Amino acid sequence: MRLNKYLARSGVASRREADKLIQTTSVTVNGVVEVNPAYCVKSTDEVRYDNKRIRPESNTRIILLNKPSGYITTVKDPLKRKTVMDLIDNNKRLFPVGRLDKDTTGLLLLTNDGELANRLMHPKNRIQRIYKVEIDKKFRAWEIKRMSIKVYIGQKEWGKAEVVKQKQVKGRVTVLLRLYHGQKREVRRLMYRMKRKLFSLERIQFGPIALGNISRGRWRDLNAGEMKILNSLGL
């Protein structure tokens, strides 16, 4: 098994993130630093990450967290800021599937299955994410069309979103946006380029998994049916 796949199956990170971790000399094989993601791990090898021995997970776990504002989406933070890991019972090695920025709330999946995380995040699989945004005014028809094609959001990147629906209540408009892959802070950058004041941003759905009525800051394990559906995505 390739070393990056071994790390992914051990619940360290997705395959893509595992490549980066290996390059930072955080992984040793039989006491020697290994920087080649393609290294073929043998059954007799002792693989360590951050000096802790790792082995492929036998049982997949996926949890749904309703992320509050003020927490960053990472496993460890060298600056000792609050992370989403502070909110969960992390008796197994878990890591976030993708990211929500510090001020964004809502649905965040965490898992110990790096292969699954890689499938869920890969742009080619076009797995939808639905966000609920509160802004100051409705989008006009031409703006909706423009966002559905592409909008330049800076740093040589383009953003894209579909307006599912929008509703105005007094001075604010609630809009549901569908995205299929995420540039860093893409929704916020889109709203800025579309000249909208953004009051709040919440992710309410990832693929077929909806946030539901779970309280902010709380989490739950996905049930067997939800896990089966997620495991079938991107195959």
Superfamily holding 3-53: RNA-binding S4 domain (3.10.290.10)
CA end-to-end distance (rounded Å), the chain: 20
- Give 234's pLDDT tier (boundaries 50, 70, 90): low
| Assigned CATH topology for domain 128-206 | Pseudouridine synthase (3.30.2350)
| Assigned CATH topology for domain 62-123+212-232 | Alpha-Beta Plaits (3.30.70)
Strand ranges, E, within 78-148: 95-96, 105-111, 129-135
Based on the residue annotation, tell me whether 101 is a catalytic residue of this protein.
Answer: yes
Report the side by side order of strands in the sheet with 32-33: 32-33, 27-29, 47-49, 52-53
- Are the CB atoms for 220 and 64 separated by under 8 Å? yes
Ramachandran quadrant class, 177 (left: phi over 0; alpha: psi -120 to 50; beta: rest): beta
pLDDT of 106 reads 97
- Distance between CA 163 and CA 112 in Å, rounded? 33
What are the start and end residues of each CATH 3.10.290.10 domain in the chain? 3-53
For residue 186, the SS3 value is helix
What are the start and end residues of each CATH 3.30.70.580 domain in the chain? 62-123+212-232
What does the block give as tokens for 37? 């993601």
- Count of positions (residues) in the chain: 235
Per DSSP, 53 falls in state E
- Distance between CA 174 and CA 201 in Å, rounded? 10
State pTM to two decimals: 0.81
What value does the mean pLDDT of the chain take?
91
- Give 91's pLDDT tier (boundaries 50, 70, 90): low
What are the start and end residues of each CATH 3.30.2350.10 domain in the chain? 128-206
Q: Which of 19, 45, 101, 103 is catalytic?
A: 101
Tens of pLDDT, residue by residue over 160-213, are: 999 999 999 888 999 999 999 778 899 999 999 999 999 999 999 999 999 999
Q: How many CB atoms lie within 10 A of CB 51?
A: 7
- Give 103's pLDDT tier (boundaries 50, 70, 90): very high
